Structures are given as C-alpha cells and as structure tokens.
Structure 1
Amino acid sequence: MKEDFLHYIWQHQYYHKAALATTAGEPLQVLRVGFYNTDAGPDFQEALLRIGEVEWSGSVEVHLKASDWHRHQHQHDPTYDQVVLHVVWEADAPVRRMDGTLVPVLSLQGRVDLSLGHTYQRLLQAKSAVPCAAFWPTVPEVTKALMLERALVERLEAKGQEVLQTFRSYSNDWEQTAYHTLLRGFGFKTNQQGFEQLAKALPLPVVRRHQHNLPQLEALLFGQAGFLDESADIYKAQLQKEYAFLRHKYTLQPVPRPIWKFLRMRPANFPTVRLAQLAAVLHGQQAFFSKLLAADTVKQFEMLFKAPVSAYWRQHYHFGKSAKALQQGIGKSSVHNLIINVAAPLLTAYGLYTDDRAYIEKAIALLGQLREGSNKITRLYEELGWQAKSAADNQAALGLYKHYCAPVNCLRCAIGHKIMKQNSSAA
C-alpha cells in the first residue's frame, strides 16, 4: 500500500463510518475533511472534526504507520502542532505534539473496502502504458471528455508558467519574452536548445536595429549560430563580411557550433533552413507580441509565422549545397506547430499574468481549430477507441499521459477516480 492511497481514501471519505472513533475510543465525526496540501506541512488543512463533545479546527496528517510521525521528525516541527487528527492504516505508536499532548489517531485498517484496494493495485501493476486500459470502456464518455479538457488546461498553464519564468528573467518585457519563445519554437524538438541559446546570444535590441535589412539579419543569425566560420560560396562570403562588422560593433559571442543537430533529419528541417525561415519572419516584423495578442483568426496567427525566405535559401538547404526543389518558406504543418508551441503558451502566460481567462480561452479555441498529426502518445488512446479531432485533443492527450498515466497518478485523475468509485461499495 502507498500513502497516496490513504490520502485518496481520506479526501473522498471512502471508508466505513459506522461507530467511527479514535484509537482512544472517543466518538469521531468528520464535518470537513480539509483542503489537500501539496506543499510542505500537514497533508490536509482547515479540517473540521468533532471528537467526543468538542469541535476541532486544524490539520489532518496521513501516514501508513503512526510511527512515521517520528520517522519524519514531526514531533520537532511546530507546523504539526496544529494537527487535530492523525489518520493512519496501522496505529503502531502514540504520537505527541511539541508540548507533549497526544494527537488523536484514526486507524483505517478494517474500514476500507477490499475491492477498492484491489482496483488500485490493478492500476498500479498494469503493464499497459495507460494503466486504466482494461477499465477504459466502463468509464462514461463525459468523464473522459472532462478529464481531457482538464489535462489540456493544465498542460497549457504549465507551459504558460514556463513563459512567465522567461518573462521575469527579461525584467517583465513581453516583447523580449515573445522573441525568446519564438526562437525556442523555431528549434522545434531537435534543435530547441540551440535556438534558445541563440536567443540569449543575440539580443532583441540588436535584431530590431537590423530588421529592415534581410542580409544583415541573416548575417546576425547565422553568425551568432556559428555557421559563418568557413568559406562556401559568394553569398556566405558576403554574410561573413557583414557579420564580422556587426559582431565587433555589438561585441557579440556566437553559440558553440556543435550544439546544432543535423543527423537523421530531412533537409527541410535542418537548423540552417530554420534560421533562414526565422530571418524571414523577423524581417520587418515589429511588435510581434502585440500582433499576437491582437490576432483573432487562424489565418491571422498563421501570417505571424509565414514569410518567403531570401532568394538564396529558396535554392539551398545549407551553405554551398543546392536544394533539389525550390522552397518558398516554412510549411503549413510547421506553422501550426509554432502556433501550438509559441502562440498558445504566450497567450496563456499573458492570461495568467493579467488574471484574464479570456486569453487562455482564446488559446484553447485556437488549438481547437488546428489539425495536428497523431503521435506515439495519442495512438495509445486511439487504440482504446478515442479519436483526436484537433490539436487541442492531441495536447490534452499528451497532458493526460505525462501527468497522470506515465506516473500512474490515477488517484488524481477523474477517470481513475470514476473507476475506483465504480469498484467500491464504500464509495
């Protein structure tokens, strides 16, 4: 048995309550279970209990064994002096607060329906990537839909919090934050780290001074990325000359060349091609973040990330290496990837910062209008009969898997909760 199972039992009161009493024999009535605490301190706070004839307001601590109180050194922590009930499976030792007073104990051993424990063990020991796969058909569709919606919001808000960390590192400058997020997004999955380092190595104020001049912009991007160190052709020589001047002018230091990855990638995804596409997007693009906030339609968001690359990069995928077919710029699927991983997190972050849910709802609605190909994670749920209809569905499935299925966090999942409830007479 795991302690989080007892947390679950207490939180939902899934135990037999007949003749409920403490281990000292005092009648116990639970008036309010308390709020589950995920931070330091007692497990449940602001609980309300009646022990004997007295009402107690305070915290509830949960352990498998009462002796865990001493093992965790709670007897020396004043935070635990507010505990009014110690909920345990096995009451193997008395526990006291710092002032020596005994903490009332409730033992759940013998009060929990065995079927509930068996269901939990089946989920814990499931060999499938989705622990509840065997139970999935028994869960109402509305429960699955609501949980996936919750997983989507949680995933978006987690991404929004990451953006807010960047925002704070740039002294609360949204345009700087959007620039950093944009570059990180252009790294897609394989070269994300390289583009993120490039965002730090090439400050937005420098980019702004040269946004009107595409060759200078390419010189800055390719030079700071470390791709202008060797000769290749006339165009590269021109960029080298331009970069040498700009590097000296702004005292720039390029990122290490080995950070970039080309192995097992299609030429269209090479970091050199992505840098050319990024240069095209940044060229003449003023107030990117303001435009992002103002965009309403999918087409308006697409236009933020679409621009024709320079003549050289229409015919090359690397310096000195010609492309077999002309390439005008970034493809539609890549644009949608940027909307998912740049636009939606930025909108969510702004909504969290301003406490305006309208921006988060806007991000959700935007994802609902995009198509996104399936992946190995979404296919796990498709095999169970679920079908993704939009990028919002895909992102929801990714959030569900990462935060609930992979860590077997079934007790915090509405789907897992429904399964547990369906398999317990106490529930």
Structure 2
Amino acid sequence: MAEAKGANTEQRSRTIERLEARAGEHACGGFLAALDDLQRTELFTTLIFDRLQRKMRTVEALRREAADNWNQTFYLLYFRTLGDRRNQEAYLELARRVPYRVVLRERRVPHAIEAMLFGASGLLDLYRNDEYTLNLRRNFEHLAAKYDIRPMKAAVWELAEIRPANHPVLRLAQAAEFFAQDEFVMDRTMACRSEEDVRRLFGIEAADYWRTHFVPAAESDSRPKRIGAFKANIIGINLVVVLQFAYGSFMANERLRDSALSLLERLPAEDNRYMRDWAAAGVRPRNAFESQALLQLATEYCPERRCAECPVGRRIAKSIPEMQ
C-alpha cells in the first residue's frame, strides 16, 4: 500500500513537471478542452474569483486615494481603463489633476470638461492651434486659475505607434462627452446587465469637431468618433464588472456581485494574443467569463510555471487515479 501511494505521488510529480516544462505552450489546453461544461465552469469560476480578488485590490487602493468617495473611485478607474496600457498612469494622473467634483461643477458649460482635460494633459502643446483648440486653451486658462489645475508635461504620454482610434487625444474628447452627459454615470454603471447596456452607456461620440479630426488642427475624412463595440466591451470587462463586484462586496450586496458575474457571461470573449495562444492549444473561450479565466492562467500562472499551485494543474494531477 505504501509503495503504491509513493508511486502515485511520484507520477503526479512527474505530471506537474511535464506541465511546467511546456507551460509557455499551455500544455493543459487539451485537458481543458476535454472537460464537460460543468467541470469547465467550476474551474473557470475559481480562476475568475482569483482574478477579481486581484482587481479588487486595485479598486480598494483607488477608493482609499479617493477618501472613500465611490464616484471619484469610479472616475479614476474609468480613466485607468480608457486608453492603452502604456498610458495607464498618465490617464490616472490626469484624473487626479482634474477631479470628478470639478468636472461635475462645470458639466453644463459647453466644452468646459474638454478644455480642462486637454489643458491639464499637456497634449495641446504637441499640435499647432486652430480656432477650436485656441478656445480650449483660453477656457483652460480660466478654469485652471479657478480650480488650481496644474498641467502635465506632454512628454509623459506614450504616443509612438498608437492607433488613431486609440490616441489619447481622441479618448479624452470621448471622455469629456461621457462625463458631460449626466451626473449619474456610476449609478448607470451599476445598472448595466447586458452587452447592450454597456455599449449604450459607454459608446459615446466625441464632439462635432472631432468628426473631421483625429488630432488637433489636422483635418481628416468626416466620420463619427465614437467608442466602438470592441472598446466598450473592454470597458465592460475591466470597469463595469470589476466595479460592480467591488462595490457589491463593499456593501455586502450579493445580488450585485452575482450581476457582475452574469455580465461577464453575457459579454463576448476578448480577442487578443493570449486568446489566440489558447486557441492554438485547443481552447476557445465562449464569453468574457471564460476569456478572463484563461487570461488569469496566462498572466498569473503560466509565465512563472506555477502549475503546482494552479487550479488546472492541481486538477490534472488529482485526476491521476489512486493506485491500490
């Protein structure tokens, strides 16, 4: 009996070693692909809670920074989610320099939010002026003096090789319109229950000037500069779901936490290099719940070959039958 158990333990150790050796190729892909729906959901749920707990630490840090103000927390997280990863800190710094309380006070003044965001970002310094941007500059001078807003250096923004649709200038124009629409954006975020709800709330179009501009003073073909479905869904995953889950946890509201998980199941899976790697390993996520679980594996376990700690690796090792 002891010898059988020893052999079984050794076999499981060898299995983990083989998984670790090919962790970069997602050696567990075949196992995941062969699971039935119930087993797959069980494993992915463990990974989702793992991922949401990590993201909640970010929300908690922002909430402390916001002095327990959930509207400011939402505002900070919105800017953190708005652009590309390289500019995440720049967006956050901008949100700190132009806080939500100031945005609310000036919300009804045409182009005031836009003037504050562009002026404080420093980005207008990179482009020649036209009548529209000169007006933004003049408005910012007044608002900066009124609220003691100090502009950032334009050099903090990473602009090389960035897609026009994801350029910080365009994202800030869209953000200005988003926060000008009404003062209950966090409440509406908490009420999102479907992909359509998310797109309706966050698929905002920039002001008319940007129909013919991607950047200031350089005209382009006329087209609406709206946050598209792909970006809106990313906001749904990284802002709406995370904030619903975090706020639900803070308020001990299980219904809101459940709504966050249900929304993940209703949002489409991401399409990125991580998901393409998983597809090559035989696993295709059916929705954002599954793609976020796979992303947790790909970013938190596979790179460091943590197969012995990974829920999937442990399940594979456990599946080796006990020797009698």
1:185 aligns with 2:118: no
Structure 1 contact 233–320 (Cα < 8 Å) conserved: yes
Whole-Å Cα distance in 1 between the matches of residues 107 and 43 of structure 2? 44
Whole-Å Cα distance in 2 between the matches of residues 137 and 363 of structure 1? 25
1:378 aligns with 2:275: yes
Identity of aligned residues (%): 27
1:117 aligns with 2:28: no
**Structure 1 residue 188: deviation in Å?**
3.5
Structure 2 contact 194–266 (Cα < 8 Å) conserved: no
Structure 1 contact 225–254 (Cα < 8 Å) conserved: yes
Closer, same or farther: CA 134–328 of 1 in aligned 2, 3 Å? closer
SS of residue paired to 1:406: helix
Whole-Å Cα distance in 2 between the matches of residues 393 and 112 of structure 1? 32
**Structure 1 residue 113: deviation in Å?**
3.6
Residue 251 of structure 2 corresponds to which residue in structure 1?
Answer: 354
**Structure 1 residue 135: deviation in Å?**
5.5
Whole-Å Cα distance in 1 between the matches of residues 187 and 137 of structure 2? 33
Residue 306 of structure 2 corresponds to which residue in structure 1?
Answer: 409
Of the two, which has the highest radius of gyration? Answer: 1
Residue 55 of structure 2 corresponds to which residue in structure 1?
Answer: 159
Residue 246 of structure 1 corresponds to which residue in structure 2?
Answer: 143
SS of residue paired to 2:175: helix
Unaligned runs of 5+ in 2: none
Residue 108 of structure 2 corresponds to which residue in structure 1?
Answer: 212
**Structure 1 residue 295: deviation in Å?**
3.5
**Structure 1 residue 271: deviation in Å?**
0.7
Closer, same or farther: CA 201–142 of 1 in aligned 2, 3 Å? same
Whole-Å Cα distance in 2 between the matches of residues 386 and 215 of structure 1? 47
Deviations 1:30-79 (A, max 9, x none): xxxxxxxxxxxxxxxxxxxxxxxxxxxxxxxxxxxxxxxxxxxxxxxxxx
Residue 42 of structure 2 corresponds to which residue in structure 1?
Answer: 146
Which residue identity does 1:177 align to in structure 2?
T
Structure 2 contact 108–180 (Cα < 8 Å) conserved: yes
Deviations 1:311-348 (A, max 9, x none): 11111111111122322422121111111111111101
Residue 199 of structure 1 corresponds to which residue in structure 2?
Answer: 95
SS of residue paired to 2:214: strand
1:324 aligns with 2:221: yes
**Structure 1 residue 111: deviation in Å?**
8.0
**Structure 1 residue 300: deviation in Å?**
2.9
**Structure 1 residue 137: deviation in Å?**
6.4
More strand by share: 1
1:342 aligns with 2:239: yes
Residue 24 of structure 1 corresponds to which residue in structure 2?
Answer: none
Alignment of 1:14-29 (within 5 A): 16=2
Question: What count of residue pairs does the alignment treat as equivalent?
Answer: 323
Relative to the length of structure 2, the TM-score reads: 0.90
Which residue identity does 1:175 align to in structure 2?
N
Alignment of 1:57-76 (within 5 A): none
More helix by share: 2
Relative to the length of structure 1, the TM-score reads: 0.69
Closer, same or farther: CA 259–118 of 1 in aligned 2, 3 Å? same
Give the aligned CA root-mean-square deviation in angstroms: 2.6
Q: Which moved more, 1:271-280 or 1:402-411?
A: 402-411
Structure 2 contact 177–205 (Cα < 8 Å) conserved: yes
Deviations 1:284-306 (A, max 9, x none): 32032122223334333323213
